[in-house]
Amino acid sequence: INVKLSARNLSVIFDCDLTFEPYVKKLVQSCFFRLRSIMKIKSVLSYSNREKVIHSLIFSRLDFCNSLLSGINQKLILRFLQVQNAAAQLLSGSSRWHHITPVLAPCSF
């Protein structure tokens, strides 16, 4: 009998220890791929359309099944925060090297 160390249900990857590390890794990877794709077309999108695209493609994924992630370790939470910060920088047009707190203040994240 082959024993698998993880199982997928509703696109959430459950590992044997319930740390959700494989799920978070895959989700963050997917979100950054989508952010790079949005970055390529940001010149043809208005601010409001860019905001709608980011909310529909990025934050809807971060919010999906987030109640399962309560109690995960701080390292995984920081990965979600990196995605949120990258999305805010893309939306605001700020540089990657600028501090993110002033950018997040007026946003509705």
Instruction: State pLDDT tens for residues 29-42.
Output: 999 999 999 999 98
Is pLDDT at 98 greater than 60 in this prediction? yes
Q: Identify the pLDDT of residue 53.
A: 93
On whether the CB atoms of residues 86 and 54 are closer than 8 A, the answer is no
Is pLDDT at 109 greater than 80 in this prediction? no
Q: Identify the pLDDT of residue 107.
A: 57
Nearest of 78, 69, 94, 86 to residue 33 by alpha carbon: 86
Instruction: Choose the weakest-confidence range: 18-27, 65-74, 95-104.
Output: 95-104
Is pLDDT at 87 greater than 80 in this prediction? yes
